[in-house]
Structure 1
Amino acid sequence: MKFMHLADAHLDSPFQGLSFLPSNEFNDIKESTQKSFTKAIDTAIEQKVDLVLIAGDTFDSVNPSPQSQLFFNHEIKRLTDQEIQVVMILGNHDYLNPEEMILPQTPYFKLLGSDEKVEEAQFKTKTGFPYTVVGFSYQHNHIETDKISEFPKKSNNFTFGLMHAGAKTTDAHQNVYAPFTVAKIKNLNYNYFALGHIHLRQSLSEDPLIVYSGNLQGRHINERKAKGVYLGIVDETTKKINLDFVKTAPIIWQMADLELDHEISQSDLTRKIVDILTRKNTQKTLFGLTISGAQYLSEKELELVNDSDYWLQLSNSLNFDSRLVKVYLVNNEKLQLKSADKEAFNQAESETFALEKIYSLANDLSKKSDYVADLLKKPEFIEEVKELSQVKLGQKLKDMDDETNSN
Structure 2
Amino acid sequence: MVRYIHAADLHLDSPFKGLKNMPEALFDKIKASTFDSLRKIVDAAIHHRVDFVLVAGDVYDIEDRSIRAQVLLRKELERLNDADISVYLIHGNHDYITNDELHLSLPKNVEVFGPEVETKIHETANKESIAISGFSYDRNWIEDRKIRDYPVRNTTASFHIGLLHGYLEGQNTEHARYAPFTLTELKEKNYDYWALGHIHKRQQLGQQPLVYYSGNTQGRHKNEQGEKGCLLVELTNTNEKVTFIPTADITWQSITLDVTSYQTINKIFEDIKKELTKEHYKNCLLDLTLEVSENMPLSVMRKLDDDDLYQAFQQIETSSFVYIASHNVLIRREESRLLSLESSFPTAWNKALTDVKKEEIFQELTHELFSMHTYAKYSDENNEKFRNDIITAAERLLLKDLGDAMSHDY
TM over 0.5: yes
Equivalent pair of 2:340/2:403 in contact (CA under 8 Å):
no
- In 1, the alpha carbon distance for the partners of 2:136 and 2:365 equals 31
- Whether contact under 8 Å (2:175, 2:198) holds in the other structure is no
Structure 2 residue 178 is matched with structure 1 residue 177: yes
State the one-letter code of the partner of 1:200: K
Q: Does 1:118 align with 2:111?
A: no
Aligned-partner Cα distance in 2 for 1:183–1:395 = 50
Give deviations 1:72-120, integer Å, cap 9, x for gaps: 00000100111111000001111132623213241x210012xx21011
1:393 corresponds to: 399
Q: Structure 1, unaligned stretches of length 5 or more?
A: none
2: CA distance, partners of 1:402 / 1:224: 34
User: Equivalents in 2 of 1:53, 1:81: separation in Å?
Assistant: 17
The answer to whether residue 385 in structure 2 is matched with residue 378 in structure 1 is: yes
* 1:385–1:172 distance in 2 versus 1, CA, 3 Å: closer
In the TM superposition, 1:1-400 aligns within 5 A as 1-97=2-98, 99=100, 100-106=102-108, 108-113=109-114, 116-156=115-155, 157=157, 158-169=159-170, 176-235=177-236, 237-238=237-238, 240-262=239-261, 264-279=263-278, 281-293=280-292, 295-316=294-315, 320-333=320-333, 334=335, 335-337=338-340, 341-362=345-366, 371-373=378-380, 376-378=383-385, 382=388, 385-386=391-392, 389-390=395-396, 392-398=398-404
CA distance in 1, matches of 2:194, 2:173: 25
Name the SS of the counterpart of 1:272 in structure 2: helix
8 Å Cα contact 1:144/1:175 also seen in 2: no
SS in 1 for 2:332: coil
Matching residue's letter, 2:103: M
What residue identity is the alignment partner of 1:76? L
The alpha carbon displacement at 1:337 in A equals 4.0
**Higher mean C-alpha displacement, 394-403 vs 94-103:** 394-403
Q: How big is the shift at 1:40?
A: 0.8
Distance in 2 (CA, whole Å) between partners of 1:33 and 1:195 is 19
| Alpha-carbon spacing, 1:49–1:374, altered in 2? closer, same or farther (3 Å) | farther
Write out per-residue CA displacement over residues 250-295 of structure 1, whole angstroms, 9 at most, x where no aligned residue: 0111121111334521222221112222225442111111222463
Determine the C-alpha separation between the residues in 2 that align with 1:357 and 1:298. Answer: 38
Cα distance in 2 for partners of 1:243, 1:234 equals 9
Change beyond 3 A, Cα 1:250–1:187 = same
From the superposition, tell whether residues 70 and 3 of structure 1 become closer, same or farther in structure 2 (CA, over 3 Å).
Answer: same
CA distance in 2, matches of 1:85, 1:211: 21
In the TM superposition, residue 45 of structure 1 has moved relative to its aligned partner by: 0.4
Contact between 2:304 and 2:329, CA under 8 Å: does it hold in 1? Answer: no
Q: Which stretch shifts more, 317-326 or 92-101?
A: 317-326
Mark the CA change 1:121 to 1:316 in structure 2 (over 3 Å): closer, same or farther: closer
**Is this contact kept in 2: 1:202–1:214, CA < 8 A?**
yes
Q: CA deviation at 1:326?
A: 1.1
> Which digits, 9 at most, give the CA deviation of each residue in 1:341-367, with x for residues without a partner?
333333333333444422433456668
**CA distance, structure 1, for counterparts of residue 249 and residue 259 of structure 2:** 33
Structure 1 residues 266 and 206, CA, compared in 2 at 3 Å: closer, same or farther? Answer: same
Q: CA deviation at 1:246?
A: 0.5
Give 5+ residue unaligned stretches, structure 2.
none
1:140 shift after superposition: 0.6
Q: Is the 8 A contact 2:291 2:330 kept in 1?
A: yes
Q: Do 1:292 and 1:331's aligned partners in 2 also have CA atoms closer than 8 Å?
A: yes
Matched-pair contact (CA < 8 Å) for 1:308–1:325: no
**Paired residue secondary structure (2:321):** coil
Task: Give aligned pairs, total.
Answer: 397
Indicate if the aligned counterparts of 2:15 and 2:378 stay in contact, CA closer than 8 A: no
Q: CA deviation at 1:146?
A: 0.7
Q: How many Å apart are 1:324 and its aligned residue?
A: 0.8
Secondary structure, counterpart of 1:79 in structure 2: helix
Q: Distance in 2 between matches of 1:172 and 1:266?
A: 38
Contact 1:55 1:195 in 2 (8 A): yes
DSSP-derived class of the 1:155 partner: coil
What SS class does the counterpart of residue 91 from structure 1 fall into? Answer: coil
What SS does structure 1 have at the residue aligned with 2:364? helix
Provide the alpha-carbon RMSD of the alignment.
Answer: 2.8
Identical residues among aligned pairs (%):
31
Question: Residue type of the partner of 2:384?
Answer: K
Distance in 2, matches of 1:364 and 1:233, equals 51
Q: 2 CA distance for matches of 1:313 and 1:233?
A: 48
Q: Name which of structure 1's ranges 90-99 and 318-327 shifts more when overlaid on structure 2.
A: 318-327
Instruction: Report the residue type matching 2:272 in the other structure.
Output: I
Q: Which amino acid is 2:392 matched to?
A: K
